[in-house]
Structure 1
Amino acid sequence: MVSIATQDLFNQSRSFYLVSILELWQRFSYYGLQCILPLYFVWQLELTLADAFRLFSIYVALAFGFISVGRWLGEQVIGIKRTLLLSSLIMMAGYVLLVFSNRQNELFYPGLATIAIGHGLFKTNPASLLSGIYNRTRFTLYHILACLGSITAVLLTPWIAHHYDWNIAFSLSVFGMFLVIIHLIFGKHYLDKQGTLADQQPVSLKIGLLVTTIIAVAIVFGIAMLRNQKVAPWVLAILVIACIILYWKDITRLKPEMRRKMGVIFILLFIVFVFFTLYLQIPTSLNFFAINHVSHLVFNISFLPEQFQALNPIWIIITAPMLAALYNRLGSYLPIPHKLAIGMVLCSASFLVLPWGAAFSDSSGFISANWLILSYALHSIGHLSISALGLIVVNRMVPSELKNFITTMWFFTFAAAALTAGKIASKTIPPLNSDSPYISLALYSEWFMTIGIVTAIIAVLMVISAPLIHRMMQSNQD
């Protein structure tokens, strides 16, 4: 990343603004739902916390597990712009189903599956429109603008659900996707020069039927996974094991130098797995920790505890330009493996500060919101150091013939992490019939400490191995 000048915001092409708006409103819809979904499961569908976390983790796994399908459709089958419009229509249909589900599983599960599949088809395609033209300065600005959609949604959606109705809150996501579709239809002439070769080709009836069949099968598969929550982890486990077997089979055909680099990619996939497992504690264990044990006052202003989830994109907007400028200045003095290690150290610290804060709880078992604000700050800087840099390493090191396969593994890693995150979040659930806030706070503290220590051990190993990994990345570039 490189530093961002203030005037950059007002000195971009119309295509840049259009794609940024698409991403902003899609995130508004997706994260608006995500921030209240586990609460809806518990408070409206009356699921146990364990069942709510499991159902939520399967939903997120589906949303990320199908990203490679969307990338394939955009790059090779129907084109990026058609994929964006199609996925937006699919997501909007899913949100509409949620609005009219009225807490009935007959519409709720199909709606949830439809949203997840649509998100997977949409996710990488806006950035792909810009990748051929813009440098990383603009991509940093693009992600900052997109974060505004997440912040607005996380602040507004819980407030609407709390003061009015859950269905109205779901309607905000419908509105967000409606705006995406409107911008795609009426602003398509700004994207005439963007896209892939598939964008320039007409879609035959055969291709249309193929795409329709793939999407229909994906949605049916998603509904089946959501309804059969104990089967879903086994299905994903089989897919992940198959990917690992194919991964090692492919790298054995490579030259020794390239095999070493692919070994680095495998380590990176593990790092991303750990990071995303931690990241998904935000809408699950951290969210319920905020509800049960964090003061709702910030600068004497009362917030809903669910709104604290907005701290993650807020801190990203605040720290991204500064971190980008710092890394740009350090240049080769701080190689990427060292930056990844620093990111993991910060992620560890983000959980370790919470048990520390718990030691200063009041008589009701509540701690100051400042501890959670600090936790989110550390986590968000770690986020910037791991997530974006990890993808840069993949793009640099993976040979072109394996890039699509490694990208698929990358997003399967996110899906596997989602299911793991749900299991970890379940460990923070207090025992049944326990109304004592001290027992609940002690349990949260114990598991946040455990998460922090395990992550710290991984971080130390990353720090120790960073020089070796850097040499493996640099060896025999050609």
Structure 2
Amino acid sequence: MSTNSSSLKQPRPFYMIFFLEMWERFGFYGLQAVLATFFVKSLGMSDAESFTIFGAFSAMVYGFVAIGGFIGDKVLGTKRTIVLGAFTMMIGYILIGMATLDKSLVYIALAFVAVGNGLFKANPSSLLSKLYEKDDPRLDGAFTLYYMSVNIGSFISMILVPILGGKFGLSVGFYVCAAGLMLSLASFIFFRQLVEGIDSPAGLAPIHYRNFSLVLLGEAVLIGFSTYMLQNLTVAHWLLLLVGIGVISIFFKEIFKSQGIERSKMIAAVILMVQAVVFFTLYQQMPTSLNFFAIKNVEHSILGIAVSNPETFQALNPFWIVVASPLFAYLYAYFGKQGRDLSMPGKFALGMVLCAISFLILPLGTKFANSQGIVSVWWLVASYGFQSVGELLISGLGLSMVAKLVPQRMVGFVMGAWFLTTAASGVIGGWVATLTAAPKGVTDPLQTLPIYSKVFLQIGEVTAVVAVIMIITVPILRRMIEGNSQQNKKEQQAA
């Protein structure tokens, strides 16, 4: 869809997609905020067990996104897949609300959420990319603002759901998550005329009911199998590996079919995705090790206000994102118009530096803990601040990177592959989080403090080494993405 690139104002359909994503993420992050503690408090798991299950669930949540991207691109169409995915997730949240009374429903409910998210997640961003030309200077800003929508929704739910869950029971919190999906669906259906004529080729064609029936059948089978996998984690990990190999094989097949600058851009995209695995492993610590660190070793107050539900400290992440996103969107557009914007590999490298700092300052903070082993909340605020700005530069621009570097015919599929990096990181991040887990029943802050300090220092050191490597490779990746100017001119003339 052609746009007036001289203006920094986003097209009208952007705002509809913004609210669609905001309310859907409201539901998902409300669940994420309390899920690990739900495993411990309601199901009696140890910290390590809860982190492992959470990691497996996260892997499924993002591991299925490539499937949803393919269905949106080739089978049902982008918009139909969005509706199906949102409806499936809503059922999952309702079931997990019921599971607080019937524990046998827990894994079934999580399977609905994982499969529904897989169908939904890649498609709003794929729809968004279709609003812009490849060289539109608004693209980075659009995806940064789109990323802000994720964090507005998550900020509200990460405060609201733990508070409601603590006061009225977790079932109420989970039903509030379901309400977020209802609002997401309602906003999309009510304003659907804004994206009329904007879809994948499969979505622009009349609905093929045989294909739709096969998708529903496949969804039911996948939900059943996911329920089994959540109770048999070895199978889940092997499946993730097989899905990953399949997606990577398809991606490399397309790379070998491509030529010239298109091929080098796709290779650069693969390298940036590998780098993103490190970031998402760090991101996985927020609902797991950082969350439990806040519960056990951080003062439960901020600005003199008591925090009765320390899980709400996770809302610091979307808070910083919402604060910083408009500024970054403006800077990308401002410097982009002048041709002085930092390259995509440069932004990824800077983001990783900030993520390294976010973990390195936590061991420093533990040295100033009081005699009871409690750390000032401001060390946690600062850590979330650094990691959140780093997130904007990596995860926030990941979708924009895909839209820029891969051919339009593969955008939905490769956006699914991008989320597969999050799936792999779910397993790795869950394992890293278990390193911070205290023995079951140990709650004394003086005993847990040195555990967190040691592991956070190790995480920060490894991340710093990765950041240095990324800085060194920036010029190489930049040349791969920009290519030889003479070659670009020849390929444009040939086209």
TM-score (normalizing by structure 1): 0.90
**Other-structure match for 2:405:** 397
- Give the equivalent residue in structure 2 for 1:225: 229
Unaligned runs of 5+ in 1: 1-6
**1:378 equivalent in structure 2:** 386
**Cα deviation 1:402-421 (Å, max 9, x = unaligned):** 65664443222211111100
Q: Which residue does the alignment assign to 1:322? A: 327
Q: CA–CA distance in 1 between the matches of 2:214 and 2:272?
A: 34
Report which stretch shifted further, 71-80 or 133-142: 133-142
Residue 124 of structure 1: which of 122, 125, 129 is its match?
Answer: 122
- SS where residue 375 of structure 2 aligns? coil
Q: Distance in 1 between matches of 2:123 and 2:263?
A: 30
Residue type of the partner of 2:324? T
Question: In the alignment, is residue 350 of structure 1 matched against residue 353 of structure 2?
Answer: no
State whether residues 44 and 103 of structure 1, in contact with CA within 8 Å, keep that contact through their aligned partners in structure 2.
no
Q: Deviation per CA, 1:234-266, whole angstroms, max 9, x where unpaired?
A: 222233344445555654555576665444333
Aligned residue in 2 for 1:27: 25
Higher relative contact order (CA 8 A, sep 6+): 2
Per-residue displacement from partner, 1:275-327 (whole Å, max 9, x unpaired)? 11111110000000000011121111122211111111111111122233344
Instruction: Number of aligned residue pairs: give it.
Output: 469
1:376-413 CA-to-partner distances (Å, cap 9, x unmatched) read 11001101111233333333333566656644432222
Select between 428-437 and 324-333 the one with higher mean Cα deviation.
Answer: 324-333
Which letter does structure 1 place at the counterpart of 2:446? Answer: Y
Counterpart secondary structure, 1:35? helix
Correspondence for 1:213: 217
Structure 1 residues 81-136: Cα deviation after superposition (integer angstroms, max 9, x where no partner):
22222222211111111122235343221111001111111113223333333543
Map 1:9-28; keep pairs closer than 5 Å.
13=12, 15-28=13-26
User: Contact 2:261 / 2:481 at 8 angstroms: preserved in 1?
Assistant: no
- Cα distance in 1 for residues equivalent to 2:243 and 2:221: 17
Q: Which amino acid aligns with 1:95?
A: Y
1:4 is aligned to: none
Sort the Cα spacing of 1:340 and 1:190 in 2 relative to 1 into closer, same or farther, 3 A.
closer
Partner of 1:280: 284
Instruction: Please report the TM-score for the alignment, with normalisation by the length of structure 2.
Output: 0.88
User: 1:94 is paired with a residue of what secondary structure?
Assistant: helix
- Out of 475, 479, 486, the residue aligned to residue 471 of structure 1 is 479
Separation in 1, partners of 2:319, 2:198: 30
* Alpha-carbon separation, structure 2, partners of 1:25 and 1:111: 19
1:417 corresponds in structure 2 to 425
**Structure 1 partner of 2:311:** 306
- Report the counterpart of residue 242 of structure 2 in structure 1: 238
Per the alignment, residue 3 of structure 1 pairs with none
Q: Could you tell me how far apart the structure 2 residues matched to 1:451 and 1:46 are?
A: 28
Question: After the TM superposition, which of the residue ranges 68-77 and 184-193 deviates more from structure 2?
Answer: 184-193
What do the CA deviations read for 1:199-249 (whole angstroms, capped 9, x no partner)?
A: 343323312221111211221221121111232112222333444455556
Q: In 2, distance between residues paired with 1:325 and 1:404?
A: 27
Q: Give ranges in structure 2 of 5+ residues lacking alignment.
A: 1-7, 133-137
Q: Does the 8 Å contact 1:87/1:122 carry over to 2?
A: yes
| 1:333, distance to aligned residue in structure 2 (A) | 6.2
Q: Which moved more, 1:327-336 or 1:444-453?
A: 327-336
- Would you say the 8 A contact 1:251–1:262 is kept in 2? yes
Mapped partners of 1:171, 1:59: distance in 2? 19
Q: In structure 2, what is the Cα distance between the partners aligned to 1:81 and 1:246? A: 24
